[in-house]
Amino acid sequence: MTFSLLHATDFADRLLYKIIPPLKAGMIVLADRYTYTAFARDVTRGVDRQWVRELYSFAVRPDLALYFRVPIEVSLDRLMARRVKLKFYEAGMDLGWSANPTESFRLFQGKVLDEYDRLVGEFDLNVVDAHASITEQQRLVRRLIAPHVEEKEEMETVDEQPA
């Protein structure tokens, strides 16, 4: 519970200072993870599914949500290639499911992925196959985003001329 609530507090702070003001100013906000991360992660930790959704009901619903999906083994390989050790919480070590970090990661993140799959339908997440090459993924992402960001016509402005 405290894990869930601390993240919600952090999210509320960022929402009110970093997300809502630029939205009001008409800017595009790119959020690296959003409430869906909390839904997947907190429920895997045993928090009630409906409670955590209600908790985050103060969040702004995104115009577009992308979900980059990879199988566990791929994410493990990618993480291990970059650093030697898995982080305690990302491996779900706090749950005590396995003393082996890699095994714990597989168990924990496997359940997190199951939760994400549930979210795809519930919140209309757009799934991007994160197996594909970066270029392919980026092209797909651009296609998905394009309808949401209509190019504004360059405003015709005339500089004031000295009389």
Partner 1 sequence: MSSQPDVPEEGANGGIQAGRYYGRGIPYLPIDGYPGKLIAIEGTDGVGRSTQIQLLREWLEVKGYGVIETGWTRSPLMQPTIELAKSSNTLNKLTFVLLYATDFADRLEKEIIPALKAGFVVLSDRYIFTALARAGVRGVDRQWLRNLYGFAIAPHLVFYLKLDVETLIGRVLEARGMDFWESGMDLKHGDDIYDSFRAYQNKLLREYGSMADEFHFRSLDARRSVEHIQIELRKQVAAFLEPTEKPEPVAAR
How many C-beta atoms surround the C-beta of residue 144 within 10 A? 14
Nearer Cβ to partner 1, position 77 or 94?
A: 94
How far is the C-alpha of 35 from the C-alpha of 119, rounded, in Å?
11
Tokens of 46: 């045993």
Instruction: Decide: is 60 part of the binding site for partner 1 (CB under 8 A).
Output: no
Instruction: Decide: is 55 part of the binding site for partner 1 (CB under 8 A).
Output: yes
Instruction: Decide: is 57 part of the binding site for partner 1 (CB under 8 A).
Output: yes
Instruction: Decide: is 16 part of the binding site for partner 1 (CB under 8 A).
Output: yes
Minimum distance between the CB of residue 69 and partner 1, rounded to whole angstroms? 26
Interacting residue with partner 1 among 25, 26, 33, 46 (CB under 8 A): 46
Nearest to 38 by CA among 51, 23, 22: 51
Instruction: Decide: is 8 part of the binding site for partner 1 (CB under 8 A).
Output: yes
- Name which of residues 126 to 145 contact partner 1 (CB under 8 A): none
Instruction: Decide: is 58 part of the binding site for partner 1 (CB under 8 A).
Output: yes
Minimum distance between the CB of residue 15 and partner 1, rounded to whole angstroms? 8
Torsion angles phi and psi, residue 91, rounded to 5: -90, 0
Instruction: Identify the three-state secondary structure at position 27.
Output: coil
Instruction: Identify the three-state secondary structure at position 92.
Output: coil
Instruction: Decide: is 107 part of the binding site for partner 1 (CB under 8 A).
Output: no
Tokens of 160: 């004031």
* Distance of alpha carbon 42 from the chain centroid: 14
Note the residues at the interface with partner 1 (CB under 8 A). Answer: 1-2, 5-6, 8-9, 12-13, 16-17, 46-48, 50-51, 54-55, 57-58
